[in-house]
Amino acid sequence: MSGVLRRGSLNFDCVGGPRDKGRGSLEANLYGGYRETRPGPKTPEISVIALDFRRYSEDLKKPPHEEPPPNRDLSQDADSDVISNFLGHYTRWSFLWTLLLCLFQLPTTFHLFMFVFQIAPKDFWCARPDNLLQMSVSEWRNISQSSNGCLVLDMDFSQVTYEDNQLVNWPANATELGYRQCRHFEFSDEEGSSKTLVQEFELVCGRDILSLVETCFLVGAAAGAVLSGWISDRFGRRHTLMAFVTIQSVFGGILAFSTSVAMFMSLRVIIGFASMTVTVVSFVLVVELVSGKWRTVIGILNILPVAISYVLSAGLAYLIRDWRHLQLAISFPWLIMLSIWFWLPESPRWLLAQGRLDELCNLIERAARMNGTSGSLPSNYRKTLEAAVPRAVQSPPEAATSEEVKATEADAPDPNSSGHVNPLLVVFSAKYWRTTCLTLVIWLTLIIIYFGLTLHLNNLGGNIYINSAVAGTVEAISICISILVVLKVGIRRSLIGYMLLPGLCCLATNLVPNQTGVIALATIAKCLIGANNAIIPTYTAMQYPTVVRNFGVGMGNLASGVALILVPFLWQLEHIDPLLPLNVMGVSGLIGAIAISLMKDVEQ
């Protein structure tokens, strides 16, 4: 064997013994990876290992025939270092795009959280007949209906008139008459009060289907949690994200023109699907644009706009009191995000996993120009990328025999007929099934607490606008602090603490004597679990390899979708005991903390 050293690479000519009739060559790139040039027929096979001097410099000491361990942990992506060799861990280019991608969390949270203000409770009573409109509301309610405002005296009001502040033809035995259900209702319309969905469609008493209406969005979100991973893994993060931002904005605007509850509910399913897809895909794209400890930092900061949007939602809802105008305000303006579609980069790690090297090289060169590092980009960096392409997506060389093709297919990680990895088989494979099951439990318990408190703060009393603004502000601060906590004590320990403490706060509400103490403990629990909500997507993404990372996060979001469906009905338990929902959340926190403690730790 003879070797020649050039800038950035080593070239070897490998000649067999006297009985060998062939000659081969092997090129090893010092920037990471190798490329074997297939020789002619009868050439001895050469067994080689990839050289990556950033993480695997010790491989040079290994025998040339040593095989990698068969059960390598795919969640520690080799391609992350290959990509970061040329893109860097966190640069000017990645800062720009991670900042812009964080904005995609705002419309999603608006569509979810604004429903709280669109159905804000208002005082109501059975509507007065046209011939009694001169009567004051208080007098009408006192003489004609039950205390809950759902029943009215079972009599013919058309024969009754109101003249000179006196009722005429009012039956003497009115108090002995029974009651019937009201057909129409009136609502308090004080100056500055909101015009809500409940008021417009009279969703009170027997027509109180608010839990079902809320569930429609959450059913769509649950479906989006599962399918978004498959869609973006199949078609790419970039186009999936922008397509569903369009759907979210357009159908959100159409929702403002709903003419019936059925139309409103149908559109909410579509918006829920689109919103969850935008959330999942934008997050995965963000963490795949960076590497190293920045995955943890940026992954958490990507959720920070969620807390900020709670404050913005309270402000918008306070200024825009008509639910239709409010819906338009949170929908159509986000179409401006489509202006970056052409420039938005695809995930470099997804491109590498798919073997789309032309697009990946163009992306790396654009990033290098923005970072001012074009001059330091190796001239032969494409060879490094070619070596890092998963075997499942590499095309067999033309000179390969049928046996070699079959061997390549046998080594591929569960490819389907089209050559793509089957993500469902991977996440439930022997290596990952335990991780996936624990992930489902963690996300389920976390979302029950987080959205159980977030979407139903008004159930605890107090001013809904002030409560939302305060809780959002404190949660944003909590998320920022959680970054320091994660970097100091580790991501898994942080998750355990941020799950255990909210559970204890919810259970501690049984010990406080007044409602103010309950609200204070619930607010603390919400802020702590909000930090957990920001950390868990990053932790989940670290558990899976690139080719199924989006699907893995989507499995977590599937559990969150189920939890979201349960949340509206969870608060129905307060009819049994006012603190029962908080007790359920407290137990959920304890279960979630145990599940996290059983998960494996990952590199930050």
- Side-chain-side CA neighbours of 107 within 13 Å: the count stands at 34
Q: Identify the top-confidence range among 9-18, 318-327, 463-472, 546-555.
A: 318-327
Buried b (16+ CB within 10 A) or exposed e, 559-597: bbbbbbbbbbebbeeeeeeebebbebbbebbbbbbbbbe
Residue of 460 and 188 predicted with greater confidence: 188
Phi and psi dihedrals of 306, rounded to 5? -65, -45
Q: How confident is the model at residue 470 (pLDDT cuts 50, 70, 90)?
A: confident
d(CA 95, CA 297): 12
Q: How confident is the model at residue 194 (pLDDT cuts 50, 70, 90)?
A: low
What's the token pair of residue 560? 């969150």
Contact 526, 453 (CB under 8 A): yes
Looking at CATH, the fold of the domain delimited by 82-121+208-349+421-597 is given as Growth Hormone; Chain: A; (1.20.1250)
Phi and psi dihedrals of 292, rounded to 5? 65, -150
d(CA 327, CA 329): 5
Range 410-424 average pLDDT: 50
DSSP string for residues in 69-97: PTT--TTS-HHHHHHHHHH-SS-HHHHHH
Q: How confident is the model at residue 164 (pLDDT cuts 50, 70, 90)?
A: confident
Range 302-321 average pLDDT: 88
Residue of 557 and 405 predicted with greater confidence: 557
In this structure, the dihedral spanned by the alpha carbons of residues 126, 127, 132 and 134, taken in order and rounded to 10 degrees, is 110
Range 252-266 average pLDDT: 92
Residue of 67 and 222 predicted with greater confidence: 222
Q: Looking at 57-66, 76-85, 449-458, 592-601, which range is the least confident one?
A: 57-66
Contact 492, 599 (CB under 8 A): yes
d(CA 236, CA 151): 56
3-state helix, strand, coil in the chain (%, to 5): 60, 10, 30
User: Residue 27's pLDDT is what?
Assistant: 45
Q: Looking at 226-235, 323-332, 383-392, which range is the least confident one?
A: 383-392
- pLDDT one-digit tens code per residue, 30-83: 444 444 444 444 433 333 333 333 333 444 344 444 444 444 443 444 444 577
In this structure, the dihedral spanned by the alpha carbons of residues 422, 423, 425 and 429, taken in order and rounded to 10 degrees, is 140
d(CA 320, CA 192): 10
Q: How confident is the model at residue 514 (pLDDT cuts 50, 70, 90)?
A: confident
Contact 533, 303 (CB under 8 A): yes
> How many CB atoms lie under 10 A from the CB of residue 411?
11
- pLDDT one-digit tens code per residue, 555-571: 887 788 788 778 878 88
Phi and psi dihedrals of 133, rounded to 5? -65, -20
Q: Is pLDDT of 604 > 80?
A: no
Q: Identify the top-confidence range among 130-144, 492-506, 552-566.
A: 492-506
* Alpha helices (H) along 336-401: 348-354, 357-371, 381-388
User: Residue 443's pLDDT is what?
Assistant: 92
Buried b (16+ CB within 10 A) or exposed e, 18-51: eeeeeebebbbbbbbbbbbeebeeebeebeebbb
Q: Is pLDDT of 203 > 60?
A: yes
Q: What is the mean pLDDT of the chain?
A: 76
CB-based contacts of 154: which residues, under 8 Å, 6+ apart?
177, 178, 179, 180
Beta strand pairing call for 34-37 and 23-29: antiparallel
What percent of the chain is modeled with pLDDT above 70?
78
> How many CB atoms lie under 10 A from the CB of residue 145?
17
User: Residue 206's pLDDT is what?
Assistant: 74
Q: How confident is the model at residue 201 (pLDDT cuts 50, 70, 90)?
A: confident
CA dihedral for 359, 361, 364, 366, sign (positive or negative): negative
d(CA 296, CA 529): 17
Residue 600 Cα distances to 432, 467, 540, 597, angstroms:
11, 37, 11, 8
Range 494-503 average pLDDT: 92
CA angle centred on 228, ends 223 and 229, rounded to 5°: 120
User: Residue 284's pLDDT is what?
Assistant: 84
Q: Is pLDDT of 277 > 60?
A: yes
What's the token pair of residue 208? 């109180």
Contact 560, 225 (CB under 8 A): yes
**C-alpha gyration radius of the chain:** 31
Q: How confident is the model at residue 357 (pLDDT cuts 50, 70, 90)?
A: confident
Contact 127, 185 (CB under 8 A): yes
Q: Identify the top-confidence range among 1-15, 72-86, 447-461.
A: 447-461
C-alpha 369: how far from chain center: 32
Q: How confident is the model at residue 420 (pLDDT cuts 50, 70, 90)?
A: low
| Listed residue (268, 269, 280) closest to 228, CA to CA | 280
Range 504-513 average pLDDT: 88
User: Residue 588's pLDDT is what?
Assistant: 92
Q: Is pLDDT of 523 > 90?
A: no
User: Residue 500's pLDDT is what?
Assistant: 93
In this structure, the dihedral spanned by the alpha carbons of residues 233, 367, 107 and 475, taken in order and rounded to 10 degrees, is 100
User: Residue 391's pLDDT is what?
Assistant: 54
Residue entry with tokens 């949170």: 330
Domain map (residue ranges) of the chain: 2-68, 82-121+208-349+421-597, 124-187
d(CA 12, CA 427): 40
Q: Is pLDDT of 518 > 60?
A: yes
Containing 262, the helix (H) or strand (E) segment is helix 261-287
Q: Looking at 14-23, 160-169, 275-284, 370-379, which range is the least confident one?
A: 14-23
Residue 244 Cα distances to 158, 234, 253, angstroms:
54, 15, 14
